Structure 1
Amino acid sequence: ADQPGIHLTFWAVLGVGGIICAIFGIIIGAPTLRLKSDYLALVTLGFGEIIPQVFTNGENIAGFNLSNGTKGISPIDNVAVPGKILGPFDFSWKFAIFVFLTAIMVFVSLRLRKGRLGRAWLAIREDELAASMMGVPLMSTKLAAYAVGAFSGGVGGVAFATHVNGIFADRFNFSISIILLAMVVLGGMGNVWGVMVGALLIAWINSTGLPAFGDLVNNTFDTSINFPSYNFLLFGGVLILMMLYKREGMIPESRLKAILHETDDETSNLGGSH
């Protein structure tokens, strides 16, 4: 490698990146353990804004060039697979690697969900007080959720850096948080398969569906509207509609679906009694 710095293989960086992100997930998550609902969301969004700014302006932190600022770290080392070193344009190989990584993460997520830790997470989500009375250690279980989520994000970040052949802090802006939120809400919170469907659908709309629809409308009515520039308006509308009319998402978790429907029935009964 011609670039200065420490050089590891792609597969080693996957593990190192995931572990570093997990550690930071615990560090950031620990002070927020007592926060709930909207307050936790605000703190999370705040960190999501602060951290990219630190790395975007990280050319000189205590005399150390942490991130090379807006120029980023590029190019990065090529990915090596048995018998081949992938170049920047070996998209078919990279796609296969990303599918492989996705399959591993889905498998691990499903195994965690069915295991003791996953059941503890579900118990805390449904009723934190009841979970505590049943002996679920709230602090360590919540920190485990932060760590696992951050580890997954770290692995995804390494894969993304490989895809764009660089690490650029200014690419991780607030819009990424909105897109990820839309994927989860649209697909179905608490359902691994639902989130995957939501992610694929949002990605398709953003990259292909909306531009194609814009071309169709512009050619039909002889207009020149830049439809892709309104993608966040569309995602915001989708989020509002989903939260109003289909809170469980396209592919809901069975337990969450039952709870939401039970709540709606109770509300209807109370309204009818008056």
Structure 2
Amino acid sequence: MIARLRWPLGFLIAAVSIYLFYEYLLSTLDSGTQAWVNQWFPMISINEALIWAMCALGLNIVVGYAGLLDLGFVAFWAIGGYAAGWLMSTFFQQNVHFFGSVPAGVRGIHLNFTVVLVAGAALCALFGVLIGAPTLRLRSDYLALVTLGFGEIIPQVFTNGENIGGFNLSNGSKGIVPIDPIKIGGEPLGPFDLTQKFAIFAALTALVLFISLRLRTGRLGRAWLAIREDELAASAMGVPLMRTKLAAYAVGALAGGLGGVAFATHVNGVLPDRFNFSISITLLAMVVLGGMGNVWGVLTGALVLAWFNSTGLARGGEAFNETFGTQINFPANNYLIFGVALVLMMLFKREGFLPESRTRLLLKEVRDG
């Protein structure tokens, strides 16, 4: 029992400690320490890392649990983001308000953030089923190609959605800006209320973690693992392949929808050029490098890689250049560094940082055999 609670308690303690440190303790430290913390670990980067973690955990359900290679997960991130844009802005002409964060006289649809989270998650779950249905008979590379196609189609629909039969779906390349601020109970959060947003995003990440862990040990989770190990044998043992696969797509997309809504409020808008193919690849790398099938490994991989992409590479590059007197533009070479790291991981630690026990034993047998 204590061993099972070790990681959840660690996540809770880390989240509470980070909140208390940035909200109360950081301002009491000397200016040099404050500058170092804000340079290397800015709260805005931590918040963004949590959003990446939500989506990576959703992809882990599809790839890590059910073994369905999905290269188009960015589509659900985009749908969740646009759900927030439609329901928390002045984009539409209707005047609909439901416990929103703007005055009642402002036109548009302005729903409460929690309602938009539910709506975005439900919409993405529906699209997860619709997108997953045509792929049920496909496996391996063919499945990856079809999901890649959907991942390219959805952002293009939003990019060219300014006039679809006379209806403005997405405002085209201009996107939907701004988004209503988050309001849960008290006053709306401003752009600098980053620690309060951290608490909300950490709670959403904890929710996705809870869903992943509970499903993993339940009947549905065992069915996913059976399909991942041997689809034909699972079918022969009575596992309903169609329902089980669609459930994986739906639950994974649900997590992507939560991440999309959170991302829209994080950047105060949705723009179609933010949802490109590289996001799907980065999410897949987070799952593989962290430890496919292990939620805590995926969480660790997502947080580390998200911080590295947003802050760590740039700051580490500056420190390297200052130390050795070079002028290397490390952020411009991020994909090169990322690719080398992936190759090295696949050569020397294929199971990831924190692999699932089943995967660790299987790869150990392969190496020993």
TM-score with structure 1 setting the length: 0.93
Give, in angstroms, the shift of residue 244 of structure 1: 2.4
Report the Cα offset of residue 217 of structure 1: 2.3
Q: 1:134 Cα deviation (Å)?
A: 1.1
User: 1:245 maps to which residue?
Assistant: 348
**Aligned match of 1:213:** 316
Taking the aligned partners of 2:91 and 2:288, their CA distance within structure 1 comes to 42
* Counterpart check, 1:223 vs 2:310: no
Cα offsets for 1:113-158 (capped at 9, x unmatched): 0110001000100111111111110010000000001111001100
Give 1:161's aligned residue. Answer: 264
Alpha-carbon shift at residue 62 of structure 1 (Å) = 1.2
Shift of 1:4: 4.1
Question: Which of 175, 186, 203 is the equivalent residue of 1:100?
Answer: 203
Aligned-residue Cα RMSD (Å) equals 1.4
The answer to whether residue 173 in structure 2 is matched with residue 70 in structure 1 is: yes
Supply the AA of the counterpart residue of 1:73. I
Asked if 1:58 is matched to 2:161, the reply is yes
Inter-partner Cα distance in structure 2 for 1:4 and 1:48: 24
Deviation string for 1:205-237 (max 9, x for gaps)?
112221122112222333322101111112222
For residues 1-274 of structure 1, the aligned pairs below 5 Å read: 3-5=90-92, 6-266=109-369
> How far apart, in 1, do the equivalents of 2:283 and 2:335 lie?
12
Q: Which residue of 2 aligns with 1:270?
A: none
Which fold has the larger relative contact order, with Cα–Cα distance below 8 Å and residues 6 or more apart in sequence? Answer: 2
Post-superposition offset of 1:84: 1.8
Q: 1:179·1:235 contact (CA, 8 Å) conserved in 2?
A: no
* Distance change (3 Å), C-alpha of 1:4 and 1:50: closer
For 2:283 and 2:217, the matched residues in 1 are separated by 24
Q: Cα offset for 1:253?
A: 0.2
Q: Secondary structure at the match of 1:125?
A: helix
Structure 2 CA distance for aligned equivalents of residues 243 and 39 of structure 1: 22
Using the TM superposition, name which of 189-198 and 235-244 deviates more: 235-244
SS at match of 1:7: strand
What is the distance in 1 between the residues matched to 2:368 and 2:241?
A: 31
Change (3 A) 1:118 1:175: same
Amino acid aligned to 1:129: L
Per-residue displacement from partner, 1:48-85 (whole Å, max 9, x unpaired)?
12211110111111111111111111111111121221
Amino acid at match of 2:194: F
The answer to whether the 8 Å contact 2:291/2:352 transfers is: yes
CA contact (8 A) 1:78 1:85 kept: yes
Give the distance between the partners of 1:180 and 1:129, measured in 2 at CA.
28
Structure 1's consecutive aligned runs of 4 or more residues displaced over 6 angstroms after TM superposition are: none
* Partner AA of 1:164 in structure 2: V
State the distance in 2 between where 1:4 and 1:183 align.
34
Assess if the C-alpha contact under 8 Å between 2:89 and 2:179 holds in 1: no
Gaps of 5+ in 1: 267-274
For 2:229 and 2:89, locate their aligned partners in 1 and report how far apart those are by CA, in whole Å.
52
| Percentage of pairs with the same residue | 71
TM-score, length of structure 2 as denominator length = 0.70
Structure 2 match to 1:269: none
> For the residues of structure 2 that align with 1:159 and 1:105, how far apart are their CA atoms?
13
Q: Matched residues in 1 for 2:89 and 2:271: separation?
A: 19
SS at match of 1:204: helix
Do 1:185 and 1:239's aligned partners in 2 also have CA atoms closer than 8 Å? no
SS in 2 for 1:65: coil
More deviation in 43-52 or 184-193?
43-52
Q: In the alignment, residue 258 of structure 1 is paired with which amino acid?
A: L
How many equivalent pairs are there?
A: 266
The answer to whether the 8 A contact 2:89-2:110 is kept is no
